[in-house]
């Protein structure tokens, strides 16, 4: 008897799971993605998440194809696509990151200020710069930020 009740309870829970997913609310933390692929061989991605409750933006960046030990920094700029001069600097990484011996770098930074990374992010780019002299140098890579679809708690990426 206890086995039948247990099986019935398990069956009810399994049937209720799809309903709870359908009731998920909209994502309060929109995500933008920038995919890097340059002629210099630098590839990777940046994910930009607006953190409304703390007035911050989270930027997670992963790049490969760098020179071992290369020092770099990033900026999010507005007003121009890659290849053109931006009209404004929206966010800047404080400090720098150094590529590993395999030529990769992974950073996760919280920066004061919030960006709208929804469909209006068409003219925002993430730009990666050489920082070997302790100041922003030449541009190493650039990628356009695109808003990702909001599917509540269902994410396709």
Instruction: Give CA–CA dist 124/78, Å, rounded.
Output: 4
138: its two tokens: 């030449």
Residue 69 included in any domain: yes
Tens-place pLDDT, residues 109-133: 998 887 766 554 558 899 999 999 9
Are the beta carbons of 131 and 95 closer than 8 angstroms? no
Residue 70: CB atoms within 10 Å? 19
Tens-place pLDDT, residues 56-96: 888 999 999 999 999 999 999 988 889 899 988 988 888 88
Length of the chain: 157
The C-alpha angle 31, 34, 37, rounded to 5 degrees, equals: 160
Residue 10 included in any domain: no
Percent of the chain residues topping a pLDDT of 90: 38
Residue 22 included in any domain: no
Residue 51 included in any domain: yes
**Alpha carbons within 13 A on the beta-carbon side of 106:** 2
Which CATH number characterizes residue 64's domain? Answer: 2.60.40.200
43: its two tokens: 């590839």
Domain interval for residue 88: 31-147
Domain count for the chain, please give it. Answer: 1
Tens-place pLDDT, residues 17-27: 444 444 444 45
């Amino acid at each position: 008897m206890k086995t039948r009740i247990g099986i019935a309870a398990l069956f009810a829970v399994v049937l209720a799971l799809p309903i709870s997913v359908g009731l998920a609310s909209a994502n309060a933390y929109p995500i933008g993605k920038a995919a890097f692929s340059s002629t210099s061989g630098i590839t990777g991605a940046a994910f930009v998440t607006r953190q409304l409750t703390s007035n911050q933006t989270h930027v997670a960046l992963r790049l490969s194809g760098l020179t071992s030990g290369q020092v770099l920094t990033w900026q999010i700029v507005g007003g121009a696509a890659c290849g053109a001069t931006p009209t404004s600097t929206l966010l800047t990484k404080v400090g720098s990151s150094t590529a590993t011996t395999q030529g990769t770098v992974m950073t996760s930074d919280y920066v004061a200020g919030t960006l709208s990374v929804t469909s209006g992010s068409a003219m925002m780019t993430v730009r990666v710069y050489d920082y070997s002299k302790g100041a922003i140098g030449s541009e190493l890579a650039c990628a356009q930020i695109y808003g990702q679809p909001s599917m509540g708690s269902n994410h396709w990426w």
